[in-house]
Amino acid sequence: MARDVAVVGGGPAGSRAAALLAKDWDVAVLEEHAVSGQPVQCTGLVSPRVMEIAGVRQTPLNVLHGAEMEFPGGRRIAVSSSEPKAVVIDRADFDRRLAAEAMDAGAEFFYGHRYLSRRWEGRNRIHYRQDGEVGEMSARLLVGADGQGSKVAAEAGDPRPREWVRGLQVDLPIADDSDMVDIHVGSEAAPGFFAWKLPCGDFTRVGLCVSWEHGPPAHYLRAFLKKLSLQDVEPLTKHCGKIPLGGRGRTYGDGVLLVGDAAGQVKPVSGGGLFPGLKSARCLAAAADGALREDRCDAASLKGYEKAWRKEVGKELANGYRLRRIFLRMSDEDMAKASAMVDRPDVRQLLNSGDIDRPSDLAPPLLRMVPGLLRFSPRLVSAMVMK
Ligand SMILES: Cc1cc2nc3c(=O)[nH]c(=O)nc-3n(C[C@H](O)[C@H](O)[C@H](O)COP(=O)(O)OP(=O)(O)OC[C@H]3O[C@@H](n4cnc5c(N)ncnc54)[C@H](O)[C@@H]3O)c2cc1C
């Protein structure tokens, strides 16, 4: 089988790239599972613009107007807006719809096909496993959209992401259509990240992520459920997964491009990968289209992709990682102090204007309003504000 493009991974980034490229090129998608969207490894919280970028029509499970945060020491701060700030999506359905769009555009999906390796010989010779048998496919361009543990990225010589956080969540049979997500930070709730209780309409999703060095998150989730007095509710489902943070190195090579989690395109503050991954899929399609037309898929001909996606989302990802490093250095006591500093009507008003896809935009005006925050990491804060 000789193809123009082989995409590894029928998740959102891979399906979106395939949909855009299949209009003009012969595209194959290799997906190891039997369908797109399973198993679910996502909370499904995205900005409303993600649906537009994805080109998918889907009724959200819930629409959120704000968040209430609980800090160590128990201080709670609520921020909300009259504008919808986020929607909760059914992630399995979202992925299936993205795959269907790609199929409609002409991409051919090979489910149950596990990518194994490739050899670059001016075109890619790709090996995959299906039903215990090894098969071969050839493609001018390989797109690595195979998620956080990307084999394609590892083979392309990419260093691992700077860190991973581990997540675990349960869906509980408790109907809740309120419009605020409940977020908890601190070493008891979720060391190195945060815990959430998300109203999803017919059910409630409770989960958290923790930094890698804190080990498996199960006992933190048990403690969090107990804190919420939900420990005796039998879950409907349980999901777990890993989120790569801090970005990867190069996202292109001879005959290969990386996108989505495979490329480290994840917002470091929230762990959200759908917005940056889908934005970058569009940049990938433009770069790939140019290279295929010139019939030059060597690394030098593909490097414009990296520049293009970094222009779209790179600054936010870099600043977001600076914010994360500041957050990681803060003790519970620091967080309690910081929460006291920002618990003011004018600051809440500023926070209300925030955008979940660009949280670091708030840093400069916030520091002007509350210069005392500078004490938590002057060097990192000024690096972020100066960039
Ligand atoms: C607990 C948790 C909560 C999250 N919550 C949110 C959230 O609320 N909002 C948000 O925006 N993001 C969230 N994320 C992140 C989000 O899920 C990812 O960023 C997103 O799934 C990345 O999409 P992708 O297409 O790059 O990769 P994936 O969705 O991981 O898709 C990769 C695909 O590649 C396939 N694959 C892997 N290896 C191979 C192989 N060798 N051969 C063939 N196929 C292969 C996989 O089966 C998979 O289908 C969360 C993640 C976790 C773990």
CATH number at residue 23: 3.50.50.60
Tell whether 161 and 109 lie within a shared domain.
Answer: yes
Tell whether 277 and 333 lie within a shared domain.
Answer: no
β-pairing, 180-184 vs 124-130, is unpaired
In three-state secondary structure terms, 172 is strand
Edge-to-edge strand ranges of the sheet holding 204-211 = 76-80, 66-70, 180-184, 195-199, 204-211, 163-172, 237-245
Tell whether 329 and 271 lie within a shared domain.
Answer: no
Instruction: Report CA(187)–ligand 1 centroid distance (Å).
Output: 26
pLDDT of residue 262: 97
Instruction: Report CA(270)–ligand 1 centroid distance (Å).
Output: 15
Nearest alpha carbon, ligand 1 atom 35: 9
Nearest alpha carbon, ligand 1 atom 3: 42
- Identify the DSSP state of 347: H
Tell whether 221 and 364 lie within a shared domain.
Answer: no
For every residue of 168-209, DSSP letters joined together read: EEEEES--B--SEEEEE-STTT-TTS-EEEEE-BSSEEEEEE
Rounded to the nearest angstrom, the gap between the alpha carbon of residue 18 and the centroid of all alpha carbons in its chain is 19
pLDDT of residue 249: 86
The CA distances from residue 364 to 267, 319, 334, in Å, are: 18, 11, 20
Structure tokens at 361: 């935009």
Mean pLDDT, to the nearest integer, of 204-210? 98
**Nearest atom (ligand 1) to Cα of 242:** 53
Tell whether 311 and 170 lie within a shared domain.
Answer: yes
Instruction: Report CA(260)–ligand 1 centroid distance (Å).
Output: 8
Tell whether 220 and 303 lie within a shared domain.
Answer: yes
Nearest alpha carbon, ligand 1 atom 27: 147
pLDDT of residue 160: 83
Residue that finishes a domain, picked among 318, 349, 370: 318
Tell whether 108 and 225 lie within a shared domain.
Answer: yes
**Nearest atom (ligand 1) to Cα of 277:** 26
Instruction: Report CA(205)–ligand 1 centroid distance (Å).
Output: 18
In the structure, which protein residues have their CB atom closer than 6 angstroms to any atom of ligand 1?
A: 8-14, 30-33, 41-46, 114-115, 145-147, 151, 167, 169, 241-243, 260-262, 266, 271-274, 277
Cβ of 374: how many Cβ atoms within 10 Å?
12
The contacts of residue 13 (CB under 8 Å, 6+ apart) are 145, 259, 260, 261, 262, 265, 277, 278, 280, 281
* Res. 375: pLDDT tops 90: no
**Nearest atom (ligand 1) to Cα of 239:** 1
Instruction: Report CA(276)–ligand 1 centroid distance (Å).
Output: 12
CA distance 18 to 104: 10
**Nearest atom (ligand 1) to Cα of 91:** 17
Contact, 347 vs 363, CB < 8 A? no
Instruction: Report CA(302)–ligand 1 centroid distance (Å).
Output: 24
Instruction: Report CA(242)–ligand 1 centroid distance (Å).
Output: 9
Cβ of 293: how many Cβ atoms within 10 Å?
10
- Identify the DSSP state of 83: S
The dihedral of CA 67, 68, 73, 75: what is its sign? positive
**Nearest atom (ligand 1) to Cα of 260:** 26
* Helix H or strand E segment including 20: helix 12-21
* Strand-pair partners of 78: 68
Instruction: Report CA(256)–ligand 1 centroid distance (Å).
Output: 19
Q: How confident is the model at residue 387 (pLDDT cuts 50, 70, 90)?
A: very low
Tell whether 77 and 168 lie within a shared domain.
Answer: yes
Residue that finishes a domain, picked among 301, 318, 335: 318
Instruction: Report CA(294)–ligand 1 centroid distance (Å).
Output: 32
By most ligand atoms within 8 Å of CB, the mutation choice from 90, 206, 243, 259 for ligand 1 is 243
Instruction: Report phi then psi at 38, rounded to 5.
Output: -130, 140
Cα dihedral 120→147→159→21 (10° resolution): 40
Q: How confident is the model at residue 164 (pLDDT cuts 50, 70, 90)?
A: very high
Total number of domains constituting the chain: 2
Contact, 37 vs 116, CB < 8 A? no
pLDDT of residue 386: 52
Q: Which of 54-63, 139-148, 221-230 has the lowest mean pLDDT?
A: 54-63
Instruction: Report phi then psi at 134, rounded to 5.
Output: -95, 130
**Nearest atom (ligand 1) to Cα of 33:** 47
pLDDT of residue 3: 97
**Nearest atom (ligand 1) to Cα of 167:** 1
Which residue is it, tokens 């959102």?
A: 12
pLDDT of residue 379: 61
Q: Which of 155-159, 165-169, 248-252, 312-316 has the lowest mean pLDDT?
A: 155-159
> Which residue type occupies 189?
A
Nearest alpha carbon, ligand 1 atom 12: 272
Instruction: Report CA(74)–ligand 1 centroid distance (Å).
Output: 33
Tell whether 272 and 329 lie within a shared domain.
Answer: no
Instruction: Report CA(263)–ligand 1 centroid distance (Å).
Output: 11
Residue that finishes a domain, picked among 294, 318, 342: 318
* Res. 383: pLDDT tops 80: no
> Which residue type occupies 296?
R
SS (H, E, C) 86-145: EEECCHHHHHHHHHHHHHHHCCEEEECCEEEEEEECCCEEEEEEECCEEEEEEEEEEEEC
Give per-residue pLDDT as tens, 226-273. 999 999 999 999 999 999 999 888 999 999 999 999 999 999 999 999
Tell whether 334 and 312 lie within a shared domain.
Answer: no
Q: Structural domain of residue 329, as residue ranges? A: 319-386
Q: How confident is the model at residue 156 (pLDDT cuts 50, 70, 90)?
A: confident
**Nearest atom (ligand 1) to Cα of 15:** 25
> Which residue type occupies 11?
G
Give per-residue pLDDT as tens, 2-56. 899 999 999 999 999 999 999 999 999 999 999 999 999 999 999 999 999 999 9
Nearest alpha carbon, ligand 1 atom 30: 147
For every residue of 34-66, DSSP letters joined together read: SSTT-S-----EE-THHHHHHT-----SEEE-E
